């Protein structure tokens, strides 16, 4: 059964299925039926309209624990404290004790709720107790892998715990060289990890702990075969931690096949972020869509804007158009070299650019602070993609705005 956190219920006037699920069943089908290349299903525009329900108006979450209460090494507690963490989020509060006890865990939580620390904190303690322990973390995107690797470095502090980040878009030979050195964490994307295994540079049998983060996104991106390949090559007696924003029937099948009596935790509070003001921008016949976008972006309150497009070429063209119109804009998409993607993200994070135009590569896992607006210039393929897109704003108790262009 689920452990339920004592977060409040969400209020969505137009959005069905608020509240947490009571079992692991397929997610709702609002524009859902999609394979690797998306869906042609239509999402009703009413689902893109919802008043913000700011966290400040709700009863605060009261955790069972503080980070100081967890049975973890004092050095890790000090490192957590230096990052300013005192009170765990619901997923951290519920999951960390089970991970510390060696249990398999399935964690279902909204985007931006602290899933990374929910597995990194107890696994760092596990490695301290057994320095020979090796952890494999599989994620859908290069950016998320690099972000988790950065968090490992921050949480470990001066501890001699080492990690290797293995992703595509970067030369493989440096990664092969890094894998030959001492390492406790290997963090990577499914395709690159599989490549390294087939080259015999990565030996799955060495890993006794596995983390799959954003599992539903990996499914959507067509990584199911690579995920099965990697999981089947690991030791049967491993600890497996499975984190996802949604649980589909296909994911449920993976859980039953590869996890051992997992503790199932759901702290989902609803379909979309409570503190995101959501509305639509209608583009009428004869109107120019780019002119409507330009009119929005010139407003003072649009100070840090993430714009989502459907295709790599479309994103790049839109970014170039905005630059020609005088906006400080950057782009990230799959055809861009990783160094360029990282540079674009850094420029946006550091407020050197006002606008980041992206494909759905930026919709999950990335923690970009103070995004004032998310604009869906192109409609998302599914409602779940919409949820993750708008989850980039309204973070850390701030109120954000999401606008979706519709014809």
Q: pLDDT, tens digit, for every residue of 116-151?
A: 999 999 999 999 999 999 999 999 988 899 999 999
Percent of the chain with pLDDT over 90: 58
Instruction: Identify the sign of the CA torsion 51, 54, 59, 64.
Output: positive
pLDDT at 37 over 50: no
DSSP secondary structure letter of residue 50: B
Tokens of 152: 């490992």
pLDDT at 6 over 70: no
Residue 362, pLDDT score: 65
Find out if CATH 3.30.420.340 is the number for domain 67-266: no
Considering only residues 114 and 200, tell me which one the structure prediction assigns the higher pLDDT: 200
pLDDT at 292 over 90: yes
Residues 6+ apart with CB under 8 A from 350: none
170 band by pLDDT with thresholds 50, 70 and 90: confident
| CA atoms of 257 and 224, how far apart (whole Å) | 13
Residues 6+ apart with CB under 8 A from 398: 275, 370
For residue 70, give Cα distances in angstroms to 62, 73, 155, 199, 402: 16, 9, 15, 40, 37
Q: Where are the domains of the chain?
A: 43-57+271-406, 67-266
Average pLDDT, the chain: 84
HSE on the CB side for 136, CA within 13 Å? 27
Residue with tokens 């279902």: 108
Rg (CA), the chain: 21
Average pLDDT over residues 333-337: 85
Find out if CATH 3.40.190.10 is the number for domain 43-57+271-406: no
160 band by pLDDT with thresholds 50, 70 and 90: very high
pLDDT at 272 over 60: no
pLDDT at 12 over 80: no
């Amino acid at each position: 059964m689920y452990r339920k956190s004592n977060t409040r219920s969400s209020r969505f006037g137009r959005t069905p299925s608020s509240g947490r699920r009571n079992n692991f069943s397929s997610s709702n089908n609002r524009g859902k039926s999609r394979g690797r290349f998306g869906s042609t299903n239509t999402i009703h525009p009413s689902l893109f309209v919802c008043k913000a329900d700011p966290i400040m108006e709700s009863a605060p979450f009261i955790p069972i624990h503080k980070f100081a209460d967890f049975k973890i090494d004092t050095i890790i507690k000090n490192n957590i404290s230096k990052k300013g963490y005192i009170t765990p989020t619901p997923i951290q509060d519920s999951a960390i004790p089970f991970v510390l006890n060696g249990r398999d865990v399935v964690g279902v939580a909204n985007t931006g709720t602290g899933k990374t620390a929910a597995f990194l904190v107890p696994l760092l303690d596990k490695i301290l107790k057994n320095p020979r322990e090796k952890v494999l973390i599989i994620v859908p995107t290069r950016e998320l892998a690099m972000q988790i690797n950065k968090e490992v470095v921050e949480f470990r502090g001066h501890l001699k715990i080492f990690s290797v980040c293995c992703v595509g878009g970067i030369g493989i030979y440096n990664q092969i060289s890094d894998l030959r050195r001492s390492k406790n964490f290997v963090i990577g994307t499914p395709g690159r990890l599989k490549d390294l295994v087939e080259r015999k540079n990565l030996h799955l049998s060495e890993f006794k702990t596995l983390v799959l983060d954003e599992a539903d996104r990996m499914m959507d991106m067509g990584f199911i075969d690579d995920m099965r390949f990697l999981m089947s090559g690991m030791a049967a007696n491993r600890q497996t931690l499975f984190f996802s924003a949604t649980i589909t029937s296909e994911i449920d099948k993976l859980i039953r096949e590869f996890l051992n009596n997992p503790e199932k935790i759901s702290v989902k509070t609803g379909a979309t972020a409570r503190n995101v003001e959501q509305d639509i921008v209608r583009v009428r016949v004869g109107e120019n869509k780019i002119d409507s976008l330009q009119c929005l972006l010139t407003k003072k309150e649009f100070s840090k804007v993430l714009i989502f497009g459907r295709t790599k070429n479309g994103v790049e063209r839109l970014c170039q158009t905005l630059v020609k119109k005088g906006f400080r804009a950057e782009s990230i998409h799959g055809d861009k070299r990783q160094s360029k993607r990282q540079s674009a993200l850094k420029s946006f994070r550091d407020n050197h650019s006002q606008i980041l135009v992206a494909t759905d590569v930026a919709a999950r896992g990335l923690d970009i602070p103070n995004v004032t607006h998310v604009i869906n210039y192109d409609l998302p393929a599914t409602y779940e993609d919409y949820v993750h897109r708008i989850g980039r704003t309204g973070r850390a108790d701030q109120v954000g705005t999401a606008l979706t262009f519709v014809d």
